[in-house]
């Protein structure tokens, strides 16, 4: 990728590989008329461990940096707590730092210069008097159903939502002003928050920003997107090479089906773009075959056509993706292994909770001989009752045999007449 792009090339790269752009004129005005770098922010709530799904926004951030943009990454520590308290307050600080270290390492792994990259913690300004007053203003003009609708695809929904979840979209809108940016980057799942910001920021005196929306990449399992809650749908950024291979082997990849194929989507939205960022030539995705020439793709459509024709099989594309993904993850793993700070922050951010096994205590059932005697006595009593014998006239011994005046009744049972009478059997 060339270090210096023309204004038109820069705008083209900024708008490339996106599902949708809202208010693109804001981008054009900053670069063409004001002749300055576009200022963009992307926010992430520091909750679960970042996984390979994060490569999608990070690939776009890498492209924005290559286009000459000034990129601000908001480590939304307060948002993380507000979103149904996904991250305990005492862990939020460590998780935000973990995200910072991991994101820096990931962007460096794809060969991006991060000099124009800035990390900002939400708590550094979201607790200020000015921000709080503006939040009050937005709260005063926002109805509950509007706030719920705005955050419907981002904030965890419950039948009885907390106020924190309702305030989440309002804060995300305000962040555009307080981070002093021209545009916000997010997934298409955040479109309702973006339109909320466009409709409401002007009401409290602030300008409309542009919004860049990434496509949502399907997970590797059954879910629509990679999710920290579905172990089969995600690969952690620090997973070992063996774990990556194991998870990709299990990935859902239906033969000849291109639509809703998470493996193909990952190749398209992550691997092809990562290859392009590392050099000036067109990206090539090479698929090795055991007994034939390799398949070489410099065009994603050709790859999709070959997959639909079963020339490129699930086994072949999974093996190729395993190789490329492990090459991308290797520098991140190396950074982690070489940094005591990185390792310490991870341990504090995601402490291992030891689950103690509950050992079931065996009940003391007492002396076996006495227990046998008691069981025999109970059995004898039941038999005596059935036989019409008096319990006081029999004695059950520990070995189970019966002694006493009515022992015969118990052992042999009642007479046939008595038995028939009890059963109420009538002559036919």
Q: What percentage of the chain carries pLDDT values higher than 70? A: 76
423 vs 188 pLDDT, higher one: 188
Residue 64: CA count within 13 A, CB half-sphere: 31
pLDDT exceeds 60 at position 229: no
| Interatomic CA distance for residues 409 and 404, integer angstroms | 10
Residue bearing tokens 């024709």: 309
pTM of the entire structure? 0.77
Q: Rounded mean pLDDT of 407-420?
A: 51
pLDDT at residue 425 tops 50: no
Q: Is 116 exposed, middle or buried (0-12, 13-18, 19+ CB in 10 A)?
A: middle
Q: Regarding predicted confidence, which is higher, 227 or 17?
A: 17
pLDDT at 122: 93
Identify the weakest region by mean pLDDT among 50-54, 117-121, 146-150, 197-201.
146-150
Rounded CA-CA distance 381/391 in Å is 6
Q: Mean pLDDT over residues 349-372, rounded?
A: 70
Q: Is pLDDT larger for residue 254 or for residue 391?
A: 254
pLDDT the model gives residue 404? 65
pLDDT at position 391? 53
Q: Is the pLDDT of residue 176 over 70?
A: yes
pLDDT mean over 7-14: 96
- What is the DSSP track for 271-316? IHHHHHHT-SSPP-EEE--SSSPPEEES-HHHHHHHHHTTSS-HHH
Alpha helices in 110-240 (DSSP H): 129-141, 144-150, 163-178, 191-200
194 neighbors 184 (Cβ within 8 angstroms)? yes
Mean pLDDT of 361-366: 64
With bands split at pLDDT 50, 70 and 90, how would you rate the model's confidence at 271?
very high
Structure tokens that stand for 244 in this block? 């990556």
Q: What is the DSSP letter of 408?
A: H
Backbone angles phi, psi at 208, to 5 degrees: -85, 135
By the 8 A CB rule, do 241 and 213 touch?
Answer: no
Mean pLDDT over 334-349 rounds to 95
pLDDT of 313 higher than 60: yes
Per-residue pLDDT, 134: 97
pLDDT of residue 327: 95
Name the band, by pLDDT with cuts 50, 70 and 90, for residue 153.
Answer: confident
Confidence band, pLDDT 50/70/90 cuts, at residue 132: very high
Give the chain's mean pLDDT: 84
Give tens-digit pLDDT for 374-390: 776 776 666 556 555 55
Strand order across the 210-214 sheet: 20-22, 210-214, 183-187, 39-44, 70-75, 117-121
Residue with the bigger pLDDT between 20 and 87: it is: 20
pLDDT value for 356:
66
Largest CA distance in the chain: 117
DSSP string over 51-101: BGGGHHHHHHHHHHHHTT-EEEEEE-HHHHHHTTT-S-HHHHHHHHHHHHH
Query: Helix (H, G, I), strand (E, B), or coil: what is residue 210?
Result: strand
Question: Are the C-beta atoms of residues 155 and 80 closer than 8 Å to each other?
Answer: no
Supply 318's token pair: 């999974």
Strand partners, 187: 214
Rounded CA-CA distance 195/22 in Å is 9
Which contiguous run of DSSP H or E holds residue 395?
A: strand 394-396
Residue-level pLDDT at 386:
55
d(CA 53, CA 337): 22
Bridge partners (DSSP) listed for residue 285? 297
Task: For 231-266, write each residue's pLDDT tens digit.
Answer: 655 899 999 999 999 999 999 999 999 998 999 999
Identify the residue with better confidence: 158 or 59: 59
Q: How confident is the model at residue 163 (pLDDT cuts 50, 70, 90)?
A: confident
Residue 113 CB partners (closer than 8 Å, separation 6+): 65
Does residue 92 or residue 297 have the better pLDDT? 297
Question: In the structure, how many helices (H) and strands (E) does the chain have?
Answer: 18, 10
Phi, psi dihedral angles at 24 (to 5 degrees): -60, -20
Q: What is the DSSP letter of 23?
A: -
């Amino acid at each position: 990728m060339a270090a210096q792009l023309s204004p038109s090339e820069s705008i083209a790269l900024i708008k490339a590989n996106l599902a949708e752009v809202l208010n693109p004129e804001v981008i054009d005005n900053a670069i063409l008329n004001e002749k300055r770098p576009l200022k963009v922010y992307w926010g992430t709530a520091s909750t679960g461990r970042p996984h390979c799904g994060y490569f999608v926004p990070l690939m776009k951030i890498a492209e924005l940096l290559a286009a000459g943009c000034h990129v601000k990454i908001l480590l939304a520590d307060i948002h993380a707590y507000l979103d149904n308290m996904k991250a305990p307050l005492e862990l939020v600080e460590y998780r935000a730092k973990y995200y910072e270290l991991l994101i820096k390492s990931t962007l460096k792994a794809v060969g991006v210069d991060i000099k124009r990259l800035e990390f900002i913690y939400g708590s550094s300004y979201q607790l200020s008097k000015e921000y709080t007053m503006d939040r009050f203003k937005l709260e005063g003009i926002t109805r509950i159903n509007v706030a719920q609708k705005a955050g419907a695809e981002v904030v965890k929904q419950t039948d009885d939502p907390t106020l924190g979840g309702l305030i989440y979209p309002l804060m995300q809108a305000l962040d555009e002003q307080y981070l002093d940016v021209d545009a916000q980057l997010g997934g298409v799942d955040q479109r309702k928050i973006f339109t909320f910001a466009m409709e409401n920021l002007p009401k409290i005196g602030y300008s409309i920003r542009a919004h860049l929306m990434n496509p949502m990449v399907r997970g590797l399992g059954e879910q629509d997107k990679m999710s920290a809650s579905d172990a089969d749908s995600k690969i952690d950024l620090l997973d070992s090479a063996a774990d990556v291979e194991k998870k990709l082997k299990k990935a859902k990849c239906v033969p000849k089906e291109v639509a809703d194929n998470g493996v193909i989507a990952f190749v398209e939205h992550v691997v092809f773009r990562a290859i392009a960022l590392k050099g000036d030539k067109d990206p090539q995705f090479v698929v090795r075959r055991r007994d034939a020439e390799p398949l070489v793709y410099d065009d994603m459509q050709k790859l999709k056509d070959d997959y639909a024709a079963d020339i490129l099989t699930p086994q072949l594309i999974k093996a190729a993706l395993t190789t490329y993904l492990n090459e991308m993850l290797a520098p991140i793993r190396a950074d982690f292994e070489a940094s005591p700070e990185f390792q310490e922050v991870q341990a504090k951010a995601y402490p291992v909770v030891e689950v103690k096994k509950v050992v079931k205590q065996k009940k003391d059932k007492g002396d076996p001989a006495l227990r046998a005697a008691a069981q025999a006595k109970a059995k004898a009593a039941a038999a005596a009752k059935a036989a019409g014998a008096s319990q006081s006239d029999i004695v059950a011994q520990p070995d189970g045999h019966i002694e006493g005046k009515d022992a015969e009744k118990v052992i042999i049972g009642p007479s046939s007449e008595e038995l028939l009478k009890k059963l109420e059997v009538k002559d036919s």
